[in-house]
Amino acid sequence: MVPTSPDPAFKCRLSHCAGGGGSGGGNSDRKKVRTNVKFRHWLKSKDWKLLQVSKGAMADMVVAISAVPENSLQRYVIYVKTGVYKKYVEVSNSKSNIMIIGDSIDVTIISGNRNYVDGWTMVSSATFGVLGQGFIAGDMTFENTTGPQKYQVVAFRSSSDHSVIYRCAIRGYQDTLFSLSLCQFCRESQIIGTVDFIFGGGTVVFQKCQILVRKAESDVTNPTYLGRPWKKNSRMIIMESYLSDAIRLEGWLEWKRSLYLDILFYAEYMNNEPGADLGGRVKWPGYHIIKDSAQVKQFTVARFISGDTWLPSTGVKYKDDLAI
């Protein structure tokens, strides 16, 4: 898919719903407005300053993605005020180092309903898609509101290298979060879906996140597994996590009988009950119960995504090693 430019109405709609600032074309109104935005302690000071406008007033508008400089080496911060914005956003490869910040989860929401049944591909169904490297999102929600009856309904798609999702919610049904490729980090966020709702070829660490399974229908709870090998060389490790009793005893599900079961790498390490009981787990060649911490250090933030080399510059909290 060739990335498309954001809908021009995105800027206008967000600015209008934000309740101030007009189209963002001039400075005269911007100098007069102030907001009561609380200081986001996780922002580095230089990034917080980018949210300020002349004479110390706080930004009171949203800038369209299309206005971001091409291939920027500096952080470009976009503040999205409280509201539900029913638009589709595509951050192209040339738009790097964008930081988009809302007022909080459940308050700033970007919402869509594209889906497979209505003619969208899995890639193009995404409400929010990002390719440009160094992307950061904080304190907001991305959602696809299409129900479970229309198959693939991506809420957030990322192939942004060295990107971060922090204190966000990503909500959908099937295929909610599509980590398409490259290196990503997700912290203190909530991912909600039904089937295969975190997937893709990206190298990602989820730390202090909630991963929640919806009921497929109002009165039916899905049988819940930790994962299944949708493609070759599937790799996933669940470590130092709380697993609820919604998890099936076997833990993992085959994709098509024995396909890929000998070339996957699935593992569990030091998880908490009640869903962490290992007694009834699958007996696949590629499944491992790990007891030695030395074996899982390769999956920590420091080593798996080389987080110590790039996460400090984002200002986002992270733990580079094991919790224990």
Residue type, 302: A
Positions of E strands within 57-172:
76-79, 83-85, 89-91, 98-101, 108-112, 128-130, 136-138, 141-144, 156-158, 163-166, 169-171
Q: Measured between alpha carbons, how far is residue 314 from residues 135, 208, 321 in Å?
A: 10, 17, 18
The rounded mean pLDDT for the chain is 82
pLDDT band at 323; cut points 50, 70, 90:
confident
Confidence of residue 68 (pLDDT cuts 50, 70, 90): confident
| pLDDT tens for each residue of 111-169 | 999 999 999 999 999 999 999 999 999 999 999 999 988 988 999 999 999 999 999 99
Let me know if 196 is a catalytic residue.
yes
User: What's the pLDDT score for residue 308?
Assistant: 96
pLDDT score for 313? 92
String of DSSP letters for 184-218: EEEES-EEEESSS-EESS-EEEEES-EEEEPEEET
Interatomic CA distance for residues 64 and 14, integer angstroms: 9
What is the predicted pLDDT for the residue at 228? Answer: 94
pLDDT on residue 62: 53
Could you give the strand order of the β-sheet that contains 76-79, starting from the edge strand earlier in sequence?
A: 76-79, 98-101, 136-138, 163-166, 183-187, 203-207
Q: Would the pTM of this model clear 0.95, i.e. be above it? A: no
Q: 181 or 21: whose pLDDT is higher?
A: 181
The one catalytic residue among 7, 29, 196, 277: 196
Q: What is the pLDDT of residues 184-238, one digit of tens each?
A: 999 999 999 999 999 999 999 999 999 999 877 655 566 799 999 988 999 999 9
pLDDT of res. 35:
37
